[in-house]
Amino acid sequence: MPAADDVTPGEIVRTLRGLQEEIRALRGEHVRRDLYEAHRATVAADISRIDEAVKQTERDRKNRGWAINLALIGAGLSLLVQFIVLLAK
């Protein structure tokens, strides 16, 4: 009769099969380091590109605002000059 501390071959096989299943499950959850780093670099590049596009849009918006203000000032000065010329006649 085996002692209480003895392990049967069947128990060893069941334990190994359980470990194999856990390892297979973990493989599906993890990604190789090089693939992770490549994906991370791609995401960082995308974020930088989007950030630069947002900054460019903000600069364009400010420039458009200045152009509109200058056009309004020019139109106002033109009206003022015409009014002065009209009064001078």
Instruction: Give residue limits of the domains in the chain.
Output: 30-88
Mean pLDDT of 32-49: 94
Q: Give me the pLDDT at residue 3, please.
A: 59
What does the alpha-carbon distance between residue 32 and residue 20 come to, in Å, rounded to a whole number? 19
**Predicted TM-score (pTM) of this structure:** 0.49
Q: How does residue 42 score in pLDDT terms, banded at 50, 70 and 90?
A: very high
- Taking all residues of the chain, what is their mean pLDDT, rounded to a whole number? 89
Mean pLDDT of 41-67: 93
